[in-house]
Amino acid sequence: MLIDHLGRKIEYLRVSVTDRCNFKCIYCFTHQNWKWLPHEEILRFEEIESIAKVFAKLGGKRIRLTGGEPLLRKNIEYLVEKLSQIPEIEDLSLTTNGSFLETLGEKLKKAGLKRINISLDTLNKEKFEKLTGTSEFEKVLRSIDIALELGFNPVKINTVIIRGFNEDEILDLAKLTLEKPVEVRFIEFMPIGKNSLWNEKHVVTIKEIKEVLESFSELIPDSSFGGGPAKVFRWKEAKGKIGLISPISEHFCHKCNRLRITADGRLRPCLFSDKEIDLKPILRKGEGTLEEAFSLALKIKPSEHNLNFTLKPMRAIGG
């Protein structure tokens, strides 16, 4: 069983399979001179599988594949199939920008992927293109329906609210739950990388978001299992749910149940910490064991995150 030095039970592993992304979101691509990781630095599928098997043997139950954009990783469905066959893993999920779901969704479902999170921060095409640097707006909107049609359950929509950009769309985004059985998750804007955009004044707190939502209709707490940081609600008349995630105003470190693997094989106990353990020497040179690495990660996992720490871009760590 994976229990850290503060008694927190660790059951969830987020694995970045690539640092590459076809979007250039302004809160992730923080400078123009970013260089992608060399191919040989990226973990191979068999290495990710080895890590996942040890994690499962030690008590891990949930794995999420992230990036970058994980669907840019060639033959990603092969990795999904391998991970889905690990008996102890009860939940295998993936976070995507949705732009490749039309071509890969069915393969992922057949391979054993259970659920999907789709990133969508605006319902305004012009804002979307400004935010992402792409013209994939319609494709991303379609990906929500594609995910539902393929039977992924639940389908969640991750939305970062930024003051001065999309706080006026909170209700419109939430109203997706009136027509679709999705969970729209509102996330406070976090400091990411050397990002000139981030400033505390750009943070719309979950309290503010909740007030906007309740101006439309009463929010009813939802008691269904989530296992994550979101506080989940629903409107009485809705088909879907609304999740509220507050990493800034009300951090949830005391119940953190996760570890992260970066695309280049570094085990990180906390998103907002520079403490990490390089797993490649273990995987490629036999220097130590994965069990020892996980044990060390539990010992160095911080009690809470440090928002003064300059976080690397999310594509480098894993979104």
Query: Is residue 96 a known part of a binding site?
Result: no
Domain count, the chain: 1
CATH of the domain at 37: 3.20.20.70
Residues of the chain above pLDDT 70, percent: 90
Query: Is residue 107 a known part of a binding site?
Result: no
Q: What is the pLDDT of residue 312?
A: 56
Q: What is the pLDDT of residue 307?
A: 63
Q: What is the pLDDT of residue 37?
A: 93
Q: What is the pLDDT of residue 30?
A: 59
Query: Is residue 68 a known part of a binding site?
Result: yes
Tokens 């003051």, residue located: 163
Query: Is residue 265 a known part of a binding site?
Result: no
Using 50, 70 and 90 to split pLDDT, how confident is the model at 198? low
Q: Which is higher by pLDDT, 270 or 229?
A: 270
Q: What is the mean pLDDT of residues 67-74?
A: 97
CB 102 within 8 A of CB 139: yes
Q: What is the pLDDT of residue 315?
A: 53
Q: What is the pLDDT of residue 252?
A: 72
**pLDDT tens digits, one per residue of 215-252:** 999 999 997 656 678 899 999 999 999 999 987 777 77
Q: What is the pLDDT of residue 267?
A: 98
Query: Is residue 20 a known part of a binding site?
Result: no
Query: Is residue 141 a known part of a binding site?
Result: no
**pLDDT tens digits, one per residue of 281-317:** 999 999 999 999 999 999 999 988 766 655 555 555 6
Distance of CA 270 to the CA centre of its chain: 13
Using 50, 70 and 90 to split pLDDT, how confident is the model at 171? very high
Q: What is the pLDDT of residue 95?
A: 98
Query: Is residue 1 a known part of a binding site?
Result: no
Least confident of 19-28, 29-38, 78-87, 134-143: 29-38
Residues 12, 298: Cα–Cα separation, whole Å: 13
* Mean pLDDT estimate for the chain: 92
The yes-or-no verdict on residue 29 having pLDDT over 80 is no
Q: What is the pLDDT of residue 227?
A: 63
Query: Is residue 260 a known part of a binding site?
Result: yes
Query: Is residue 21 a known part of a binding site?
Result: yes
In a domain, 40, yes or no: yes
Query: Is residue 25 a known part of a binding site?
Result: yes
Query: Is residue 190 a known part of a binding site?
Result: yes
Q: What is the pLDDT of residue 26?
A: 78
Q: Which is higher by pLDDT, 287 or 34?
A: 287
CB 147 within 8 A of CB 118: yes
Query: Is residue 258 a known part of a binding site?
Result: yes
In a domain, 3, yes or no: no
Q: What is the mean pLDDT of residues 26-55?
A: 88
Least confident of 22-36, 43-57, 67-81: 22-36
Residues of the chain above pLDDT 90, percent: 79
Query: Is residue 163 a known part of a binding site?
Result: no
Q: Which of 188, 127, 126, 118 is nearest to 155 (CA)?
A: 118
Query: Is residue 142 a known part of a binding site?
Result: no
Give the neighbor-by-neighbor strand order of the sheet with 62-66.
Answer: 219-221, 231-235, 241-245, 182-188, 155-161, 115-119, 91-96, 62-66, 12-16, 258-261, 266-268, 277-278
Question: What residues make up the domain containing 303?
Answer: 12-317
Q: Are strands 219-221 and 182-188 parallel, antiparallel or unpaired?
A: unpaired
Q: Supply the pTM of this predicted model.
A: 0.93
In a domain, 2, yes or no: no
In a domain, 266, yes or no: yes
The yes-or-no verdict on residue 167 having pLDDT over 60 is yes
Query: Is residue 256 a known part of a binding site?
Result: yes
Q: What is the pLDDT of residue 130?
A: 94
Query: Is residue 50 a known part of a binding site?
Result: no
In a domain, 4, yes or no: no
The yes-or-no verdict on residue 193 having pLDDT over 60 is no
Query: Is residue 64 a known part of a binding site?
Result: yes
